Structure 1
Amino acid sequence: MEKKKNAAAAAAKKKKRESDGPARKRARSGGACADAAGDRISNLPDAILGTIVSLLPTKDGGRTQAVSRRWRHLWRSSLLNLEVGAFLSATAAAKIISDHPGPARRFCLRPGDSYADVDSWLRSRALAGLQELVIYYARASARTLPLSALRSAASTLVVAKFIGCEFPNESVKPSMDFNLPLLKQVTLTNVSILGDVFHGLLSGCHALESLSMWIVQTAGCLRVCSPTLRSIGFHLYSGEELVIEDAPRLERLLLPYASMARPMTIRVIRAPQLKILGPFTPDISKHQVFQGMNLVSLENSMRTVKVLAVGSCNHQLNAVLSVLRCFPCLEKLYVIFYRLYGKDKENEPRYDDRLQPIECLQNHLKTVVFKFYSGNEQQVAFARFLVLNSKVLNKIEFQVHEDYKSQSMARIHSLLKVENRASQDIQIEFRGNCYFVYYHAKRCIHDLSMADPFR
């Protein structure tokens, strides 16, 4: 009898819970609780919200004051992110700088009518503690960079980009008194700078990790001496040569668009950690790479380089193998095919595979990637040579157009003579073309988290 009573009571409780369920759910889904659930971001601490605001574009950051009373004070208390010229006039920028108490996270000046105010802005309280600075002049203006650009925020600056400007070249003291203890990234694009000023800039950067030089105009040579520098990007240079004089931590020397550049000379005096190089053309009339005082060669090889990218048209493939002799410890090779009109003709000499053994093919080369591979006779002969002579090769990757991928793998294996391969572990893969090879390499000048800038 007692068991029946307990069972009846339990059933009644269960029925009551089921009848109350929808009402309770409706209560939880409505009213103030629903508002809180819909605006969870406002419950974050001020420090996090301030960081979010500082990452927004200038106008959007200011508009957050209208979100709610909770957000009203955040813009003035967060790090200022100010971009002038594109969508913000000089008048509006001046108002923001006068209203914001500082400090600032980022200041970007784009071409516009606000050049005259730059110096005073950079000295203002609002832009104190600046972490990222971008000065972008229209090249036609040929304006001189104000010294305040590197002095007002010298102790806090982490990233600096200077585009379309001239560095001061008057009689300034050696090193120009630069002292930039936190500066990690420097980009110089379409700038004019004296060799002594350039040397002084690098000498004042005590934490510099990456340096991008794009269309740098100077007289003589640019000398790089930096105990911390890990990555250099370089393109279109008007001077005599780039000299890596002393860079004990340099890991990568990237040369995007080198195949389209004017002749240049790169001299590596001391870079014992240099592992990644390219892409450059094997045409020595355009590019010359020296190790010390002599051209890189079989007798003067660079044994530290493990990853190499070479841009080549079909008639230069013999020269590519000559380049391989200069890098005996090479583990990964990229060959970027490009068409040079008037050169790639059917009556040009075929690839000659009667060459002496190449050290990297005997002991180290494990991966080869062909970009923009079309499968013409010269390219096939070059790939076949690597298949037949690379003794530790694990993988050859062909990046091709879709129509080439339709060819049968059996025919491709036959052309490459895979049955006679030197390495039994070799795998052959076909992928679609990556059309942003040079852009990707350029991006990796500063992005050191990407281990392979040519991938």
Structure 2
Amino acid sequence: MEKVAAASAPVPDDDLISHLPDAILGTIISLLPTKDGGRTQVLSRRWRPLWRSAPLNLDILTWIPHVPISVLASAISQILSQHPGPTRRFSFPCHHLGFSAEVESWFRSWFHSRALANLQELNIIYTDGLLPPFVLCSASTLLVAKISYCHFPHEIVSPMNFPLLKKLSLFNVSISEEVFHLLISSCHALESLFIKGVKSTGRLRVSSSTLRSIGAFSSIHKIEELVIEDAPCLERILLPYHLDRLTIRVVRAPKLEILGPYSLVQIFLQVADGMSPVRLENSIHTLKVLALRSSGRELHTVLNFLRGFPCLERLYVIFHKHYEMDNKNEPQYDPLHPIECLQTHLKKVVFKSFVGNDKQIDFARFFVLNAKLLQVENRASQDAWIEFKCHKGPEHYGRTNLDENIHDLSLADPFRQWLAL
């Protein structure tokens, strides 16, 4: 038999990654921790120049004691002038410096530098100063922006334009209703908005054809009303902290699915019909996930509130002893007029910080006996999914990464992670 020698397979190149273009390798390096990115220079001669030209993430996170501000500013200027590659992220907390003409001069030179011409992420704290227009000179390329502790101009002379911005956070800023409305309207790709401690004239209006998520935190002497005028893609309204009195008025949000954690005492939800509170005739049929804060003494108030969400599938109740309200005149639950979500959709109920007092037991018992999908023939269903959580010590709401995670649109149910369930 004639032997035919099999053709030897080509030996694969073990260093395929080095065949990638410099731009891609630079992007990979920029995603590594700084020390690891710097170490890539020792891999080979091919990799040696990539570190210096990789996209720059310049984060000034903390103030360095005993280092003059002029030295720090000079170092930042030198980095921006000598780095040959683009700057992806620029983060600088100005609250350590205060506000002065000298600080503004440094900022002006940085934001007019070639290195920030294609900036993608901006995180700036401009303590008690009027936000200069040049800070947003890279607005056309920004994807993520966080602006804190500053005052927006009362009037915008030149039109704003943020064609690529997807995530916007405003923390402890002062902004007029008109400027806020213009700012949101100029964000043509905005998906997630987080406003925290914003000082305004008492009302903020939101109209956006792309917005999918809103996170809000208000406190005394700050915004009193958040109006969702027109948000056809809005899926979530997240209220992660305890809030002072805040009215949320939803005029048009046809895809809203997630709401909370909502306090029946401190937050007032109004839907569509002028200033009428949410009720059966102006209910939100799209809402599927709801988180409520309650003292445990408000069962009938909660039940009357649930009438506005006939398609609700998951309910989280966070018991908190500080939330009380006078519900003497609250209509009592009438079995002859059952709540639609209890009859047809509610599948999961979670109680947070359940300590087992009489009121909380009555609260839980009602849902076990009346949520049809949680029972079979007058007994608890074998498939019932009711979680009772009790934590010792202060209540924990999973706040460790709250500000970072509030923009995470991949979380199908953010309450499960936030409440450490």
TM over 0.5: same fold? yes
Aligned 8 A contact 1:234 1:255 in 2: yes
| 1:234-254 CA distance string (max 9 Å, x none) | 001513311100000000000
In structure 1, list runs of 5 or more residues that go unmatched.
Answer: 1-35, 395-417
Q: How many positions carry a matched residue from both structures?
A: 379
- Cα pair 1:58 1:83 within 8 Å, conserved: no
Asked if residue 53 in structure 1 is aligned to residue 42 in structure 2, the reply is: no
1:289 maps onto 2:275 in alignment: no
Please say if residues 227 and 249 of structure 2, whose CA atoms lie closer than 8 Å, have aligned partners that are also in contact: yes
1:95-129, Cα deviation, whole Å (9 max, x unpaired): 10110134211111123448431222111101111
The answer as to whether partners of 1:131 and 1:156 remain within 8 angstroms in 2 is yes
- Who is 1:371 aligned against? 352
Structure 2 counterparts to residues 9-28 of structure 1, below 5 A: none
Deviations, residues 54-80 of structure 1 (Å, cap 9, x unaligned)? 235668756765776544421332111
Residue pairs, 1:181-260, within 5 angstroms:
181-236=163-218, 238-257=222-241, 260=242
Q: Give the aligned partner of residue 121 of structure 2.
A: 132
Alpha-carbon distance between aligned partners in 1 of 2:175 and 2:132, rounded to the nearest angstrom:
13
Q: Secondary structure at the match of 1:216?
A: coil
Aligned partner of 1:319 among 301, 317, 325? 301
Structure 2 match to 1:76: 52
In 2, Cα distance between equivalents of 1:308 and 1:440:
21
Q: How many Å separate the matches in 2 of 1:168 and 1:52?
A: 38
Partners of 1:374 and 1:432 in 2: CA distance? 6
Deviation of 1:323 after TM superposition, in Å, equals: 1.4
Q: C-alpha separation between the residues in 2 aligned to 1:377 and 1:327? A: 27
Determine if the alignment matches structure 1 residue 272 to structure 2 residue 258.
no
- Note the residue ranges of structure 2 that are not aligned, 5 or more in a row: 1-12, 65-71, 417-421
Contact persistence 1:441–1:453 (CA under 8 A): no
Whole-angstrom distance in 2 between the partners of 1:419 and 1:392: 11
Rg: which structure is higher? 1
User: Corresponding residue for 1:420?
Assistant: 378
The structure 1 residue matched to 2:396, chosen from 435, 443, 455, is 435
Measure how far apart 1:262 and its partner are.
1.2
TM-superposed CA distance for 1:366, in Å, is 0.8
Q: Does 1:147 align with 2:133?
A: yes
- The 2-side partners of 1:331 and 1:243 are apart by 25
Write the distance in 2 (CA, Å) between the matches of 1:131 and 1:214: 22
What SS class does the counterpart of residue 81 from structure 2 fall into? Answer: helix
- Structure 1: how far apart are the matches of 2:389 and 2:61? 42
Q: CA offsets, 1:37-63, max 9 Å, x none? A: 9xx798464344312332356687567
Deviations 1:262-310 (A, max 9, x none): 1111110000000101111112xx2211112111123322222111000
Q: 1:59 to 1:192 in 2, by over 3 A?
A: farther
Normalization by structure 2: what TM-score? 0.81
The 1:326–1:438 alpha-carbon spacing in structure 2 relative to 1, beyond 3 Å, is farther
CA change 1:310–1:41 in 2 (3 A) is: farther
Query: Pick from 118, 121, 130: which aligns with 2:107?
Result: 118
Per-residue deviation, residues 84-104 of structure 1 (Å, max 9, x unmatched) = 352682221111011013421
Range moving further from structure 2, 231-240 or 330-339: 231-240
Partner SS state of residue 180, structure 2 = helix
- Partner Cα separation in structure 1 for residue 163 and residue 197 of structure 2: 26
Computed over aligned residues only, the root mean square deviation of the Cα atoms, in angstroms, reads: 3.1
- Aligned pairs for 1:277-356 within 5 A: 277-283=259-265, 286-292=266-272, 293=274, 294-340=276-322, 356=337
Determine helix, strand or coil for the equivalent of 1:182.
Answer: coil
Secondary structure of the residue aligned to 1:142 is strand
Cα deviation code 1:188-239 (max 9, x no counterpart): 0111111111111111111100000000100141110000000000001513
Alpha-carbon contact 1:134-1:162 (below 8 Å) kept: yes
Match of 1:448 among 388, 405, 409: 409
> Which amino acid is the alignment partner of residue 147 of structure 1?
P
Q: Distance in 2 between matches of 1:229 and 1:110?
A: 28
Instruction: State the Cα distance separating 1:180 from its structure 2 match.
Output: 1.2
Give the match for residue 103 of structure 1: 86
Identity of aligned residues (%): 54
Tell me the SS of whatever aligns to 2:122: strand
Q: Is the 8 A contact 1:275 1:304 kept in 2?
A: yes
Cα pair distance change 1:130/1:421, threshold 3 Å: same
Q: Which moved more, 1:40-49 or 1:210-219?
A: 40-49
Distance 1:255 1:360 in 2: 22
- Higher mean C-alpha deviation, range 301-310 or range 418-427: 418-427
Structure with bigger helix share is 1
